[in-house]
Amino acid sequence: MGLSHHQWIAVRTTACVTLAATAMSFTLIWVWMQIDPVMTIHRAYLAATIIPLMISPVCSMVIQRAHVQVRELSDENQYLANHDELTGLSNRRAFFTRAKVLQANAEPGRQVFACAIADIDDFKRICEADSKGTGDFAVRQVGQLFQKAMQSGDLVARLDGNRFAFLINSSDEQEIMRAVERLRGAATSKPLVNPKTGRAIGNPTLSIGIVMSILAEGAGELMAHAEKAMAASSREGGDRVTFYSDTEHAATTSGWMIYRP
């Protein structure tokens, strides 16, 4: 098994420090021999061996500790740059990056995935139903339920406020509909309860908009289409899903609509 990138850095650092310590020790011993005529060759070799063994481990440990701290800070910054602080889900930046990659790898004119945006219905009422912080609690709970309901290869992200976005990696419309229904069921499966008072607030419902990737040329347009469909769901009272489409399709299930631009 080969060494990892960080292990190679550790090996190179240790080797460089040892060589530097050896060179430094020989220099110091040479100066010492010029000053002290009693210094013998045997003592010089002994000192040249002992000094690097004393210096290099300490220097290597200091350098490696600094390297680990820098690496951990870099990893933490990378995580924060791509994740939502409140829910731990992917954020808008990570969502756009993933959508761009999926679209870039798709064959022209071929449907490869769906984008969905969901808004928690009556969020203002939820926030005002009890005490300060209830809105954050609701967003966190719904986000966790989404995470558990997502299948491998799909992505859920929190965009902002009470809005979530999903990338469903499928070209089959029926499979996409089933995935969205799982998300709707997950959100309503657990009632919102005020964490401080224990008072039940109710089960959250969602207004969802869906667009197929083939109907958009870029991630920005994809999001815009999904948001228009989501707005249509919200205007109809919420607790429903709207497809952004200009053709008939399988969305005949109760609580589903079609948005035609």
Instruction: Encode pLDDT of 201-241 as tens digits.
Output: 889 999 999 999 988 888 899 999 999 999 999 999 999 99
- Please answer whether residues 215 and 224 qualify as being in contact, where contact means their C-beta atoms are separated by less than 8 angstroms: no
Q: Helix, strand, coil: what percent of the chain each, to 5?
A: 55, 15, 30
Give the separation between CA 234 and CA 98, rounded to whole angstroms.
26
- Concatenated DSSP letters of 110-175: ----EEEEEEETTHHHHHHHSSTTHHHHHHHHHHHHHHHHPPTT-EEEEEETTEEEEEE--S-HHH
pLDDT digits (tens, 9 = 90+) for 116-170: 999 999 998 888 765 667 889 899 999 999 999 999 889 999 999 999 999 999 9
104-107-108 Cα angle (round to 5):
95
- Please answer whether residues 112 and 222 qualify as being in contact, where contact means their C-beta atoms are separated by less than 8 angstroms: no
Coil, helix or strand at residue 245: coil
pLDDT of residue 179 exceeding 90, the answer is yes
Single-letter code of the amino acid located at 26: F
Give residue 201's pLDDT. 85
- Tell me the residue ranges of DSSP E strands in 187-255: 192-193, 200-202, 206-212, 240-244
Mean pLDDT confidence for 17-36: 68
34-40-44 Cα angle (round to 5):
80
Read off the pTM: 0.72
Tokens, residue 57: 């481990």
Q: Residues of the chain with pLDDT > 70: what percent?
A: 69
The residues near 34 (Cβ < 8 Å, ≥ 6 apart) are: none
Tokens, residue 77: 């910054």
pLDDT digits (tens, 9 = 90+) for 81-94: 889 999 999 999 99
Tokens, residue 200: 């039940």
